[in-house]
Amino acid sequence: MSANGAVWGRVRSRLRAFPERLAACGAEAAAYGRCVQASTAPGGRLNKDLCAQEFEALRSCFVAAAKKTLKGGC
């Protein structure tokens, strides 16, 4: 039972660190949000892949943050 508790303790600490790591993606999130907002402004039309470059930058940042969290590095 104690081994199971140790595992959950590590999982909880990683999950707690995740929001802090995602905070490092603020610039990418803002760029993607601006792109979507500009595309949906009055008269604008949001089409598939219109903000693909911004989305890919945000996704890459999230993936990098997740990898750091899973490795347990702080």
CA angle 22, 27, 31 (to 5 degrees): 120
Digitized pLDDT (tens) for each residue of the chain, 74 residues in all: 456 777 787 778 777 877 887 888 999 999 999 999 988 888 777 788 899 999 999 999 988 988 876 665 54
What does the pLDDT read at residue 59? 93
User: Which CB contacts under 8 angstroms, 24+ apart, belong to 5-9?
Assistant: none
CB atoms within 10 A of CB 3: 7
What does the pLDDT read at residue 70? 65
How many angstroms separate the Cα of 25 from the Cα of each of 1, 33, 63? 38, 12, 10
Q: Locate the domains of the chain by residue range.
A: 3-72
Which residues are CB-neighbours of 54 under 8 A, at least 6 positions away? Answer: 28, 31, 32, 34, 35
